């Protein structure tokens, strides 16, 4: 009979840190902090703790995320493992979650969680988030929903979730879509699930992808800088529904001529970019130039997707546009 084991893979973050009470600063400590949370998981055994890496999440890289995906797959292929929980720092958690969501094809639950308060702070949220995540990973109703983020009693889909507050324990939200489920004392309750499972081959990502946030009166200096430094793709957070200041256009033309894909998202956190406005710098003209329009992703996630799909870019923007339509 299949066991119902959950593997907790630790990567560091605030959940594995403590506060220096004299200096009021938070610092990384030994991974034993997470081992000390094992008694909270006694009712949900078997649980295996795997210390993969111990870094603050701003130190996370595409290469480490790729190695994490390979490491996870070894467990997901094990019939005795019913699900995976990954503890992670919150600053880049959404990016790792989406990266894994694009590359992991298993139906088994994969859950990311962390903490906004370190292990010895008053009201530390790490233990409850960890327990809830293990419960979600064990629950059969969590299967087939892609990578999940469990935080503050809510379950979010990796595609939609984002960090919205610098310090609040309810920082993870899914603008326009909301959480897909809730963790209660009695059980796991899902209200809906993503309609799209968007998966790609597990190959090393292209880390040379830039990200630019457009603003009033902006020019194309940053675009030229990325090109001159051999970046192979650029994501631009555009104004509104997908428009840019006219001074950015020459840089975009140069990038497209050099077969460097430009992916457009909105700096607004709700809605989609569309080729609606037909003026200099408007979405209609950007589309004609060869800019790729993304389907509702934020800038950091569009960057992750371009890292993952870049190797599929062969004949022009049409190759990538079909992937960013998903």
> Which residues are CB-contacts of 217 (< 8 A; sequence separation ≥ 6)?
245, 247
**CA-to-CA distance for 157 and 140, rounded, in angstroms?**
16
Q: Is 90 annotated as a binding residue?
A: yes
For residue 229, what is the domain's CATH number? 3.40.50.40
pTM of structure: 0.95
Q: Are residues 12 and 154 in the same domain?
A: yes
pLDDT at 74 over 90: yes
Q: DSSP letter for 178, please.
A: -
What are the distances in angstroms from CA 175 to CA 160, 252, 260?
A: 7, 29, 30
For residue 118, what is the domain's CATH number? 3.40.50.1170
Would you place residue 26 in the very low, low, confident or very high pLDDT band (cuts 50, 70, 90)?
A: confident
Q: Are residues 185 and 144 in the same domain?
A: yes
Please check whether residue 17 lies inside any domain of the structure. yes
Bridge-based pairing state of the strands 47-51 and 5-10: parallel
**pLDDT at 15 (0 to 100):** 92
- In sign, the C-alpha dihedral spanning 112, 131, 4, 180 is negative
**CA-to-CA distance for 311 and 318, rounded, in angstroms?**
14
pLDDT at 30 over 70: no
Distance from the first to the final alpha carbon of the chain: 38
Q: Is 91 annotated as a binding residue?
A: yes
Classified as helix, coil or strand, 172 is: strand
Per the structure, the complete domain to which residue 69 belongs is given by: 5-190
> Which residues are CB-contacts of 312 (< 8 A; sequence separation ≥ 6)?
200, 319, 320, 323
16 backbone dihedrals φ, ψ, rounded to 5°:
-110, 25
Report how many domains make up the chain.
2
Classified as helix, coil or strand, 29 is: coil
**pLDDT at 166 (0 to 100):** 97
Peptide bond preceding 46: is omega within 30 degrees of 0, i.e. cis?
A: yes
Q: Is 191 annotated as a binding residue?
A: no
Per-residue pLDDT averaged across 161-175, rounded?
Answer: 97
pLDDT at 223 over 50: yes
* Cα-trace Rg, the chain: 21
Please check whether residue 18 lies inside any domain of the structure. yes
Please check whether residue 203 lies inside any domain of the structure. no
Tell me, yes or no, if 90 is annotated catalytic. yes
pLDDT at 84 over 60: yes
Tell me, yes or no, if 87 is annotated catalytic. no
Of 10, 11, 14, 309, which one is the catalytic site residue? 14
Angle, to 10 degrees, between the axis of helix 317-324 and the axis of helix 299-309? Answer: 130
Q: DSSP letter for 105, please.
A: -
Contact between 248 and 281 under an 8 Å Cβ cutoff? The reply is yes
* Sheet with 81-87: strands ordered across: 47-51, 5-10, 81-87, 110-113, 147-151, 154-157, 181-183, 188-190
Of 10, 87, 90, 92, which one is the catalytic site residue? 90
**pLDDT at 184 (0 to 100):** 97
**pLDDT at 34 (0 to 100):** 81
* pLDDT tens string 249-280: 999 999 999 999 999 999 999 999 999 999 99
Q: Are residues 132 and 252 in the same domain?
A: no
Please check whether residue 275 lies inside any domain of the structure. yes
pLDDT at 151 over 60: yes
């Amino acid at each position: 009979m299949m066991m119902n084991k959950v593997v907790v893979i630790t990567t560091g973050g605030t959940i594995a840190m403590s506060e220096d009470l004299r200096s009021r600063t938070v610092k990384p400590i030994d991974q034993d902090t997470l081992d000390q949370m094992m008694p909270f998981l006694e009712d949900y055994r078997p649980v295996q703790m795997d210390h993969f890496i111990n870094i603050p999440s701003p130190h996370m890289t595409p290469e480490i995320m790729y190695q994490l995906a390979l490491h996870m797959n070894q467990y997901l292929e094990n019939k005795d493992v019913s699900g995976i929980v990954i503890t992670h720092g919150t600053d880049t958690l959404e990016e790792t979650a989406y990266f894994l969501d694009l590359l992991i094809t298993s139906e088994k639950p994969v859950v990311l969680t962390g903490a906004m308060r370190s292990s010895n702070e008053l009201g530390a949220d790490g233990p409850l988030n960890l327990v809830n995540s293990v419960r979600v990973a064990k629950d059969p109703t969590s299967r087939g929903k892609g990578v999940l983020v469990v935080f503050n009693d809510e379950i979010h889909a990796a595609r939609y979730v984002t960090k919205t507050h610098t310090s609040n324990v309810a920082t993870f939200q899914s603008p326009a879509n909301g959480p897909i489920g809730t963790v209660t004392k009695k059980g796991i309750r899902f209200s809906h699930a993503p309609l799209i499972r968007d998966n790609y081959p597990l190959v090393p990502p292209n880390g040379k992808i830039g990200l630019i946030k457009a603003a009033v009166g902006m020019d194309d200096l940053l675009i030229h800088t990325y090109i001159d430094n051999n970046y192979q793709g650029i994501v631009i957070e555009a104004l509104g529904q997908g428009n840019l200041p006219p001074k950015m256009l020459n840089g975009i033309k140069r990038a497209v001529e050099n077969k460097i894909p430009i992916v457009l998202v909105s700096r607004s956190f709700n809605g989609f970019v569309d080729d609606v406005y037909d003026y200099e710098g408007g979405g209609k003209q950007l589309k004609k130039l060869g800019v790729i329009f993304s389907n509702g992703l934020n800038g950091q996630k569009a960057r992750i997707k371009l890292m993952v799909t870049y190797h599929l870019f062969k004949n022009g923007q049409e190759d990538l546009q079909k992937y960013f339509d998903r």
